[in-house]
Amino acid sequence: MTPTSPLPPWPSTPPAHGGVVLRRAREDDLAMVRDLATDDYVPTIGTLPAHADDAEALAWIDRQHRRYDEGTGFSFAIADAETDTAVGQCGLWLSELEAGRATAGYSIAPADRGRGYAGDALTALTAFGWTLPGLFRIALYIEPWNTGSIRTAERAGYAREGLLRSHQEIAGTRRDMLLYAAVRP
Ligand SMILES: CC(C)(COP(=O)(O)OP(=O)(O)OC[C@H]1O[C@@H](n2cnc3c(N)ncnc32)[C@H](O)[C@@H]1OP(=O)(O)O)[C@@H](O)C(=O)NCCC(=O)NCCS
């Protein structure tokens, strides 16, 4: 955290829901980050190198800290609420906060999938979003094949708004994206 960030303050109480708590990434989250880097898809949608080694994973953790400082948004490690062990990462991205809009993203390490962590994390992240003054809308962009992410969005109360054809390039191919969004209750 730095007093120079243009964003609202880092939450004094870590956002939490169900089995997860959202906290700062730490260097001892390395094993989770290296597991995340073994996923075929995660490295294509962010800056984590595929099959990252220790140094690359630590550099990625450092970049997550800088997201807040540079005003990009809040990047949280998703941690198990009982053990505090990191199981994934999520972010609330706020470059359009002045217009009342954010986007969100989330990934769970392959070893920790299928236990409800993503649904709980997105629910906690979204509730945290509504504590930010001036934020009215959080959008998710999800590829149509990504059933796990679609179910995660729906579990967290997001509504499907449409299909954005040829919306962005991922791994060298233009991709359609489903648009999901939640609005301030
Ligand atoms: C998508 C992802 C985050 C799901 O994480 P997870 O912790 O396994 O998800 P959860 O256990 O919270 O499951 C949430 C819902 O999705 C369903 N689900 C999860 N993975 C699924 C899969 N591969 N196929 C079908 N349904 C799936 C669960 O059954 C659950 O549904 P329910 O609410 O009806 O019970 C995880 O697979 C991942 O990190 N994928 C790679 C990165 C990614 O795609 N991120 C999203 C980019 S838009």
pLDDT 10s digits, 33-68: 999 999 999 999 999 999 999 999 999 999 999 999
In a domain, 29, yes or no: yes
In a domain, 71, yes or no: yes
- State whether the beta carbon of 123 lies less than 6 angstroms from ligand 1: no
pLDDT digits (tens, 9 = 90+) for 132-178: 999 999 999 999 999 999 999 999 999 999 999 999 999 999 999 99
In a domain, 1, yes or no: no
Q: Whose CA is nearest to atom 48 of ligand 1?
A: 142
In a domain, 10, yes or no: no
CATH (domain of 54): 3.40.630.30
In a domain, 105, yes or no: yes
In a domain, 6, yes or no: no
Q: Whose CA is nearest to atom 19 of ligand 1?
A: 148
pTM of the complete model: 0.97
Domain count, the chain: 1
Which residues span the domain enclosing 60? 16-183
In order of 13, 51, 61, 92, 141, the CA distances from 42 in angstroms are: 28, 10, 15, 17, 14
